[in-house]
A and B are shown apart, each in its own frame.
Chain A
Amino acid sequence: MSPIEHGGGLALGPLVIALPVLTTWGIMAVLALLSWLVTRRLSEQPGVMQLLCEGVVSAMAGAVEGVLPGKADQVMPFIGTLWIFIVVANLVGLVPGLDSPTADLGITASLAILVFLSVHWYGIRNEGLAAYLRHYLRPMPLMLPFHIMSEITRTVALAVRLFGNVMSLETAALIVLLLAKFLVPVPVMMLHIVEALVQAYIFGMLALVYIAGAMQAHHAQRAAPKE
């Protein structure tokens, strides 16, 4: 089985690996390598890279801790990876010759599905299956369809929002670049950076809020009668 160039992707026999997947592998390799390089010799007196990494990780842990006090250790790896991956994936589009994987609906949909599954996973793990499923019937069983619709729509919204923003930004930059001179798209590229950070933050924060809602469904049910 020999790799075959296929539309920017890689064809391994009948299996065609698209370019975003290859880019994702590259991102994964780079992140793993950087992580290993930074953390292989950690010390109590941190260097610049260690300090940077500690700042990023502690900021993410603090944000998760702020939303889920006492349960940040469970969720932080997933949410932190979402933030890091989406930021890097969004910014990869600025590298000549590479595309942002998040400009592919399959990538964003897979991330949204993972968020959808993790919401239920963390919810059931913390509340128990019966208690977690019971919150779909709150405040009344009539709300069950709406809860289901909400789960589906917010997952779709996650996928489409990230995909749409990145894809539209790249398209707009491409159009500007085609119509204007060479340096004209620079402001658009600056906007791309900001947009990449904002979209990553929004995606991760929404995922965190969804997971937190699922993990605290039982508390919400108990607090509801008091209200």
Chain B
Amino acid sequence: MYPGLPGGAAGATIPEPQAQRYPVTFSWTTFLFEIVNFLVLVWVLHRLLYRPILRVIRRRKEAVEQVLAEAHATRSAAESLEAQYRHRLDDWAAEKQQAQLKLHEELESERQRRLEALRSEVGQEREKANVIEARRLREITRNAENEALGHATGFAARLLERLASPALEAELVGILLEDLTRLDADRREKFGRVLRHNDEPVRVESAFPLTPALQQAIGQALSTLAGCQVACDFTQVAEVLAGVRVVLGQWVLSANLGDELSFFHRYATELGHELGQEPSGSSAAEPSPVTGPTN
């Protein structure tokens, strides 16, 4: 405590020995001792206090820094991973978008392809239906025509059967003779050759008995074609109806209602078949002349 304090009593004067200590005095001994003391204290505190304490602080600081470095490294790794995963997610999103685009393109392509196929199929079906419908129409038409031709043939046959008579037959023989005279040179040559090389008599078939004049006219006309005398065998055949049929081996000259009706009926039937087979185009069959060779 404060030097010179007189035992805690509030004295009015300072005791002499203590009062003499306060004037400013300087002791070289104290001065030198204190220098040494302080230097020693510096050394002692440096050894016992500062160095250990600072070492501990430094060690702790290093540990903290190491932990911080590890935390930073962990954080960097985490950020790197995060960036990597983010990139991967972006890549996945891009791939997904590309896959969706590709899928849409493929779907659109497939849809277009199927639409084209369906359109083509529909077109083919429509074409087929058109063909079937056209064929059906042609069939109907052909049937109608056949039926009409059948009716026409029937009507014509019945009419011609009623018109068949010796007079009509004479008219038809006249037509035959007229046609024979109008044959061109080629045909005339062919008929003549056939007549000349035919050993058998020419068979002349008629529905009614031919008058001798008609028989003579026919024989004369054939002989004229042959260029020689031709023998004729006149017979009656009911299917001829009216007119004559001249048979020269494989050659037949028809100038009668029966053959004409048969030819007409056959021609109508063939025409109907051709109409049913070919949807377009005209028939190649031409009506044969009243008098013509048939095989």
Given A7-B21, A106-B28, answer yes or no on A114-B49 (Cβ-Cβ < 8 Å): no
CA distance A206 to B41 in the complex (A): 20
Whether B2 lies near A20 (C-beta < 8 A) is no
Interface members, chain A 117-173 (any B CB < 8 Å)? 163, 167, 170-171, 173
Neighbouring A residues of B57 by C-beta, 8 Å: 54, 57-58
Whether A28 lies near B54 (C-beta < 8 A) is no
Whether A84 lies near B2 (C-beta < 8 A) is no
Main DSSP-derived SS at the B contact region: helix
Neighbouring A residues of B3 by C-beta, 8 Å: 8, 99, 170, 174
Whether A39 lies near B30 (C-beta < 8 A) is no
A35 at the B interface (CB under 8 A): yes
Chain A: residues with Cβ within 8 Å of the partner, total of 62
A17 at the B interface (CB under 8 A): yes
Whether A178 lies near B56 (C-beta < 8 A) is no
Whether A174 lies near B5 (C-beta < 8 A) is yes
CA distance A104 to B31 in the complex (A): 10
Whether B53 lies near A105 (C-beta < 8 A) is no
Task: Mark each residue of chain B from 49 to 61: 1 if its CB lies under 8 Å from any CB of chain A, else 0.
Answer: 1101110110110
A24, A42, A167: which contacts B53 (Cβ < 8 A)? A42
CA distance A107 to B26 in the complex (A): 9
Whether A35 lies near B45 (C-beta < 8 A) is yes
Q: List 27 A-B contacts (CB under 8 A).
A: A8-B3, A18-B27, A18-B33, A24-B33, A28-B37, A32-B41, A32-B45, A35-B49, A39-B53, A44-B60, A53-B49, A57-B57, A61-B54, A81-B38, A105-B26, A107-B31, A107-B34, A109-B31, A111-B34, A111-B38, A114-B35, A114-B38, A167-B22, A174-B14, A178-B5, A179-B10, A180-B10
